Amino acid sequence: MPKYVIEREIPGAGDLTAEDFKAISQKSCGVLEGLGPQIQWVESYVTADKIYCIYIAPNAEMVVEHAQQGGFPANSVAEVKTVISPITAEG
């Protein structure tokens, strides 16, 4: 199943509290439950003004649907084509 990176522009994201993140996560999980098991949230990375989320889904449209239902921005949705790391150099 394809993996996606979603860029969410959220001014002040890095200043959100643990309670803010809990509420956002609960909302996201609720929407995911409604969409069914074919879409999964893997993890997210928070920077000063953006959140980058990793999702597994059958297509980008489902990722966008999750964002729309949850009221989350999805400024960019990109399919991951391959993953590289320091281990790649050893190949």
User: pLDDT for 39-85, tens place per residue?
Assistant: 999 999 999 999 999 999 999 999 999 999 999 999 999 999 999 99
Closest CA to 73 of 40, 49, 38, 48: 49
Angle between helices 18-35 and 60-70 (to 10 degrees): 130
Q: Which domains does the chain have, with CATH numbers?
A: 3-90 (3.30.70.3090)
User: pLDDT for 7-31, tens place per residue?
Assistant: 999 999 999 999 999 999 999 999 9
